[in-house]
Amino acid sequence: MEYENRLLKDIGTRMYMIRKKLDLTQKDLCSRLNVCPGTISGVENGTTSPSFDIIYNLSLQYHVNIYYLLYGEEPMFHNETANHPLIDGINDEQSLFLQNFLHFFKNSELARFSFMSYFKRFILENKKLLKAELDETEITTQKIGLKIKNEI
């Protein structure tokens, strides 16, 4: 419980810093994110966890780096992440594709189900190749918070 409280406080502090950097009041941010008045206050005070919609819309509308909001380890905004290991080697076309994919993944249950089914099948059919590729890469799965390597 102590850890969860500390985590919520840290996320709240970062939410406050993001809002101040954007030069917005709590009321303005609530209006722009289409959330009830007081929601942002609850997040900033560490009493409420930000919903997926808040996180997604902050990222989409203001280019807030989700990793910064949740973990505090990355730059605050996407445009400051040119050397991030997750986007290293991704061109503009691929980046646009991923943005569109995330939009459909968020808004369509069919897209989520289809993707997860395909991804699970793909991993099962390509375990050896994926494991070899993951073993060779410089990006560790612990650094990016994924557990795929252990599941393969």
In tens, the pLDDT along 99-138 reads 778 777 788 888 888 888 888 888 888 888 877 777 766 4
Sign of the C-alpha dihedral, residues 129, 130, 133, 134?
Answer: negative
- Residue 9 and residue 49 in one domain: yes
49: closest CA among 63, 31, 35? 35
> Looking at the predicted structure, is the pLDDT value of residue 150 above 80?
no
Give pLDDT, residue 99: 76
32: closest CA among 53, 12, 17? 53
Q: Which residue, of 48, 80, 112, is where some domain finishes?
A: 80
User: What is the C-alpha separation between 10 and 2, in angstroms, rounded?
Assistant: 12
pLDDT in tens, 86-95: 556 677 777 7
* CATH number, domain containing residue 69: 1.10.260.40
Q: Would you say the pTM of this structure is higher than 0.75? A: no
Structural domain span for residue 28: 2-80
Looking at the structure of the chain, the number of domains it has is 2
> Which of these ranges, 10-24, 39-53, 106-120, has the smallest mean pLDDT?
106-120
